[in-house]
């Protein structure tokens, strides 16, 4: 197994944990937990592969079903312990974000996409699974939560990885960028880093 | 018209009826009923064909628009009668589930996918349309309802069809497996068959 | 820059404005506004290109990211002014609808799709971005709102453009059809044009 595949499967596992944990808080059953975990872990990569016009890895390689199954089993047996730490979902989601924004950018570059496209596709890979998770569970996407920053670290990670790849960076660069994205995301959760609202500081959001 | 095409169009019709019935309970107009019925009836197959990298049949063959139009017209004129039986939506959804998990698996196998991929793709075909229906109508997906079993019969059907196809099974096998999936789903609705929750029996779901 | 590209980028801009304005009413931050605007502006075209099995233009050509960025910046600085006119979101959405149903149909025809498929694909291009916007913002899709007509003008526009294209119509025809779709949609908002409900006049919607 290459490092690249290991990172990818780890990313699937992290997002799958976040999906299975959401399934617990929603009161889903064990199969729903596997399905929501799989959607979360594999959705971003499927989107990326469809845009790249290759057979989605999640369907092509049976190994990609292992992380969601392990994740759902872990959550099933460990949920009471895990629930004492309500931010667990977000921490695993942050790890998946770092791993996927870099892996998605690298894969896009390997298939000949231009740097802007590779950055966008790394970003899409990273946010796709979590967006699908929240939309399918019928809740407001974490992606749009203004109380901390989510999209920005993923965009930064995809862009940084694209630049480093052009300068010859490989799996070591990916590890460092993924770690940086994870750290930024977790710190933003802890310190409530925020960016300006969509309406500028003068406007007040109004009920839709 | 081959049996295989007939089964596929019947599956589109069943899911389209479920979509158009949901449009009624949501107070949509007639065009919304056609659109939600089409999304439900054609969405799963479009997803499958995108993964298989072929032009989605729903767009390629005009015949696929006929079932959603007929379904919306039927629901338009029969809604008062149908509403006396509140489970009609679920029964049509169950028939679509059986027809699509088998048809999706067979199509994937015909395009050379491995058995695991064919099972996953049959499952995706079967649950895709209903998930799209519920997400677009902004309600909690039936797929994740823990009060009965939904995903499991579809997964079983896709897996059984994949096995039977490798042993030479054809349209007869598809009919029997689809019937079994339909029966399991309807019985699970009637007897409230459940499977363990995502959190194991010790944990309590908590509000998200 | 060709007229065809200019129309396409204008369509992206109009839908992106609608997405960024929704981000304001939802209280998202500036990055969320760019992301929701991009999803709205680019989502329909990505769907269309995936069905046509070509690399989605939104990923392939960096120019397509400019309209969502400009739209989010405009909304950021102008939101207080714009909010005095609550229907702004709907007017921009209507302009995008007209531009995209025609552009989508023309692109499908250029790639050799049959007339029914081109009409469906023009319709999908037009409604896809707005549907994605509403689903991701976790609200009832405007597409299904029975208080005015939304899907019908888009379907009419895609069909009319397909017919005119076969009769030799080009960019002038596209401009006129797009204008007609915009006018129908805006008039339907103003005069509350409605079509029959999904259930026929005898039935009452019931709570789901």
Determine contact: B206 vs chain A, CB below 8 A. yes
User: How much is the pLDDT for C208?
Assistant: 42
Chain C residues with CB-CB distance to B59 below 8 A: 51, 113, 117, 120-121
User: How much is the pLDDT for C58?
Assistant: 93
Q: Which of A50, A151, A208 faces C31 most closely, judged by CB atoms? A: A151
CA distance B24 to B133: 13
Q: Cβ of A25 and B207 within 8 Å?
A: yes
CB atoms within 10 A of CB A78: 16
Helix (H, G, I), strand (E, B) or coil at A60: helix
CA distance C77 to chain B (A): 31
Q: Which of A50, A53, A151 faces C35 most closely, judged by CB atoms? A: A151
User: How much is the pLDDT for A202?
Assistant: 52
CA distance A7 to A176: 12
C6 Cβ neighbours under 8 A, 6+ residues apart? none
Residue B207: inside a domain: no
CA distance C98 to C188: 14
User: Residues C118-132: pLDDT tens digits?
Assistant: 999 999 999 999 999
In this prediction, residues C134-142 reach a mean pLDDT of: 95
> What is the DSSP-derived secondary structure letter of residue A135?
H
Determine contact: B2 vs chain C, CB below 8 A. no
Tokens of C95: 């302009």
Q: Which of A117, A146, A203 faces C28 most closely, judged by CB atoms? A: A146
Model confidence at C203, pLDDT cuts 50, 70, 90, reads very low
Q: Are A161 and A76 in contact (CB under 8 A)?
A: no
Determine contact: C30 vs chain A, CB below 8 A. yes
CA distance B109 to chain C (A): 21
What residues of chain A, 117 to 176, have a C-beta less than 8 Å from chain B? 135-139
How far from chain centre, in Å, is Cα C118?
16
Q: Per DSSP, what are the bridge partners of residue C197? A: B29
From first CA to last CA, the distance across chain C in angstroms is 50
CA distance C103 to C14: 14
Residue B203: inside a domain: no
Residue C196: inside a domain: no
User: How much is the pLDDT for B79?
Assistant: 72
Q: Cβ of C146 and B28 within 8 Å?
A: yes
How far from chain centre, in Å, is Cα A86?
18
Q: Which of C42, C111, B51, B42 is nearest to A52 (CA)?
A: B51
Chain C residue at shortest CA distance from B137: C140
User: How much is the pLDDT for C196?
Assistant: 86
Chain B residues with CB-CB distance to C131 below 8 A: 136
Model confidence at A79, pLDDT cuts 50, 70, 90, reads confident
Which has the higher per-residue pLDDT, A169 or C138? Answer: C138
User: Residues C13-63: pLDDT tens digits?
Assistant: 999 999 999 999 899 999 999 999 999 999 999 999 999 999 999 998 999
- B-C contacts at Cβ under 8 angstroms: 105
Model confidence at A89, pLDDT cuts 50, 70, 90, reads confident
Determine contact: A22 vs chain B, CB below 8 A. yes
CA distance A138 to chain B (A): 6
Taking the C-alpha atoms of A168, A170, A175 and A181 in order, what is their torsion angle to the nearest 10 degrees? Answer: 50
Q: Which of A116, A139, A203 faces C79 most closely, judged by CB atoms? A: A203
CA distance C26 to chain B (A): 16
Q: Cβ of B27 and C205 within 8 Å?
A: yes
**Residue A138, CA distances (Å) to A31, B139, C1, C18, C188 in order:** 18, 7, 41, 22, 30
Q: Are B124 and B48 in contact (CB under 8 A)?
A: yes
The residue among B141, B184, B199 with the most chain A CBs within 10 A of its CB, best to mutate, is B199
CA distance C26 to C72: 14
Chain A residue at shortest CA distance from B143: A32
User: Residues A135-151: pLDDT tens digits?
Assistant: 999 999 999 999 989 99
Query: Subunits that touch chain B (at least 3 Cβ pairs < 8 angstroms)?
Result: A, C
Model confidence at C201, pLDDT cuts 50, 70, 90, reads low
Residue C205: inside a domain: no
Give the structural domain span for C115.
Answer: 3-191
Q: Which of A121, A139, A205 faces C138 most closely, judged by CB atoms? A: A139
Taking the C-alpha atoms of C121, C122, C124 and C126 in order, what is their torsion angle to the nearest 10 degrees? Answer: 160
In this prediction, residues C169-173 reach a mean pLDDT of: 90
Residue B198: inside a domain: no
Determine contact: A196 vs chain C, CB below 8 A. yes
User: How much is the pLDDT for C71?
Assistant: 95
Chain C residues with CB-CB distance to A112 below 8 A: none
Q: Which of B50, B51, B151 faces A32 most closely, judged by CB atoms? A: B151
Checking ipTM against 0.90, whether it exceeds it is yes
Tokens of B186: 């309807």
Residue C93: inside a domain: yes
User: Residues A53-71: pLDDT tens digits?
Assistant: 999 999 989 999 999 999 9
In this prediction, residues A99-120 reach a mean pLDDT of: 96
CB atoms within 10 A of CB A57: 18
Q: Cβ of A28 and B200 within 8 Å?
A: no
Q: Which residue has the tokens 């596997």?
A: A34
Cα–Cα–Cα angle for A19, B22, B7, nearest 5°? 85
User: How much is the pLDDT for B207?
Assistant: 45
Total number of domains in chain A: 1
Model confidence at A77, pLDDT cuts 50, 70, 90, reads confident
Chain B residues with CB-CB distance to C127 below 8 A: 35
Determine contact: B36 vs chain C, CB below 8 A. yes
Which has the higher per-residue pLDDT, C168 or A79? Answer: C168
User: How much is the pLDDT for B77?
Assistant: 87
Chain B residues with CB-CB distance to A29 below 8 A: 146, 149, 194-198
Per-residue pLDDT of chain B (208 residues; tens, 9 = 90+): 688 899 999 999 999 999 999 999 899 999 999 999 999 999 999 999 999 999 999 999 999 999 999 999 999 888 777 766 678 888 999 999 999 999 999 999 999 999 999 999 999 999 999 999 999 999 999 999 999 899 999 999 999 999 999 999 889 999 999 999 999 999 999 888 888 887 875 545 544 4
The residue among B35, B131, B141 with the most chain C CBs within 10 A of its CB, best to mutate, is B35
Residue C198: inside a domain: no
CA distance A27 to A17: 15
Determine contact: A53 vs chain B, CB below 8 A. yes
CA distance A14 to A94: 8
Determine contact: B33 vs chain C, CB below 8 A. yes
User: Residues B69-127: pLDDT tens digits?
Assistant: 999 999 988 877 776 667 888 899 999 999 999 999 999 999 999 999 999 999 999 99
Model confidence at C1, pLDDT cuts 50, 70, 90, reads low
Residue A90: inside a domain: yes
CA distance A143 to chain C (A): 7
Q: Cβ of A60 and B117 within 8 Å?
A: yes
B147 Cβ neighbours under 8 A, 6+ residues apart? B192, B194
CA distance B39 to chain C (A): 11
To the nearest whole number, what is the mean pLDDT of chain A?
Answer: 91
């Amino acid at each position: 197994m290459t490092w690249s595949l290991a990172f990818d499967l780890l990313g699937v596992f992290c997002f799958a944990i976040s999906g299975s944990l959401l399934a617990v808080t929603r009161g889903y059953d064990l199969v729903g937990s596997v399905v929501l975990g799989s959607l979360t872990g594999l959705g971003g990569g499927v989107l990326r592969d469809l845009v790249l016009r290759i057979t989605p890895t999640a369907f092509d390689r049976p190994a990609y079903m292992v992380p969601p199954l392990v994740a759902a089993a872990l959550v099933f047996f460990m949920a009471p312990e895990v629930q004492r730490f309500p931010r667990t979902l977000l921490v695993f989601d942050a790890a998946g974000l770092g791993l996927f924004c870099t892996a998605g950018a690298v894969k896009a570059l390997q298939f000949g996409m231009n740097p802007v496209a590779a950055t966008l596709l790394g970003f899409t890979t990273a946010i796709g699974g979590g967006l699908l998770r929240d939309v399918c569970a019928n809740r407001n996407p974490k992606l749009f939560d203004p109380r901390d920053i989510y999209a920005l670290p993923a965009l930064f990670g995809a862009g940084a990885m694209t630049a480093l790849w052009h300068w010859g960076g490989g799996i070591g660069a990916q590890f460092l960028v993924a770690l940086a994205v994870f750290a930024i995301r977790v710190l933003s959760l802890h310190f409530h880093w925020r960016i300006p609202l969509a309406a500028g500081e003068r406007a007040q959001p109004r009920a839709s």
